Amino acid sequence: MLTALSDATRSTCGGKAATLGVLLRAGVPVPEGFVVAASSVAETVAGTRPEIVAGARPEVEAGLRSAITRALDRLGDPVVAVRSSASDEDGRHASAAGQYESVVGVRGSDGVCAAITTCWDSARAARVAAYRRQTGQDNAPGMAVLVQRVIEAEVSGVLFTPQRPGGSTRIEAAWGLGLAVVSGTVTPDSYDVTADGDVDCVVGSKRTRIDLTPESGGVGTSLVGEQARTARTLQDSTVRVLAGMGRRIAAMLGGPQDIEWAIADDAIWILQARPITAAVPASRTVDQVVPSRALAGVPGSPGLVTATARIVGSPDDFHTVRPGDVVICPCTDPAWTPLFTIAAGVVTETGGALSHAAIVAREYGIPAALAIPNATTHIRSGDRVALDGTAGTITVL
């Protein structure tokens, strides 16, 4: 019914938990936790997996609830993150980045059980179905759920280990929890670390941060002070330590890895590791020539397309998008994934190349440029545009 994270295997606990179990057994600093095995989902709805039962919301049955209460007590009743660990998640060809739900900042058995049902239920979301069709997956996923102590991070982010021998490590970082980096709600600091340890840094515009809200539970977003917005989140020495940890984890797991990490009280924690599913475009260099009429940002997904721009401010605007449009938006979240199946490309005003939106764009094979300030005001719906995801630019023609 429940499995200690250190004992997790892919067959019963899904990809995310199984990989963290491997890392824990190897001595990598991973927050402790436990896994609700995928079989527990089947037991909740008439013996059939709820992700394929129309209209039936799964609930945590009494025996499982009691086991969860005991497991939380053994951990000391901490604030936890309740995270999906689906059988098709974190694979070599499809990451499912951001497609399933996670609930961060939960405490107590009732809250954790409610969050578990949210994770289970997300397997039936429209965005998951669209993603699975796009990536050629036919069978409904088994859904295990990982319950893990939350690291109250001062700085956190994502790193991509070198994708070829002698290549660089790419790291993106922001203040607070890593939700801001993976969701693309901030433009993070970006660090490139060569095999020789040289560090190149481009400081982002970190206007907001996400942190735990102990009074009300969950997480909240707050403004970052003016000085911290343009201050480096990481010193070169820490960047090199992160890059070294990334290389060791990649060697341990047998290939280039997409790794989420957090730093609290000067300690580095690894929160997730999964194979890199598609190559990241090279960073735009300072001396790179940008066409005079182009708006420039961060290269997110390679490719060049000429199409009609469509400004999308919220899900209320989804109906305006036509097949072949370039979607221009402030940022995206997982609910926007179905748009990626019809869009010719994506442009955002914030975000980094390691965000979930960029990862999914690369998996779908559509160009993306991120962190183009005021793109939604400089460009109008109906404009003819040329999007160059390799260079990270968009030009109104």
**Residues with catalytic annotation?**
356
User: How many CA atoms within 13 Å lie on the side-chain side of 77?
Assistant: 6
Report the sign of the C-alpha dihedral through residues 28, 29, 30, 34, in that order: positive
Structure tokens belonging to residue 190: 């970006």
8 Å CB contact between 146 and 12: no
Q: What are the distances in angstroms from CA 359 to CA 139, 185, 261, 280, 392?
A: 22, 15, 17, 8, 15
- Yes or no: say if 279 and 362 are a contact pair by the CB < 8 Å rule: yes
- Residue 280 three-state SS: coil
Token pair 């599913």 is found at 277
Report the C-alpha gap between 131 and 122 in whole angstroms: 13
CA distance 154 to 53: 41
Tokens of 289: 């020539």
Exposure b/e, 148-177, CB count within 10 A at least 16 = b: bbbbebbbbbbbbbbbeeeebbbbbbbbbb
CA distances from 130 to 31, 96, 360 (A): 32, 11, 12
Single-letter residue type at 21: G
Q: How far apart are CA 182 and CA 237, in angstroms?
A: 23
Query: Could you tell me the two tokens for 204?
Result: 């982002």
**Spatial separation of the C-alpha atoms in residues 162 and 168, rounded to whole Å:** 5
Among residues 377, 313, 392, 380, the alpha carbon closest in space to that of 345 is found at 392
Name the one residue in this structure whose structure tokens are 């036509």: 322
First CA to last CA across the chain, in angstroms?
A: 59
Output the six-digit token pair for 235: 């010193």
SS3 state of residue 242: helix
Structure tokens at 61: 């049955």
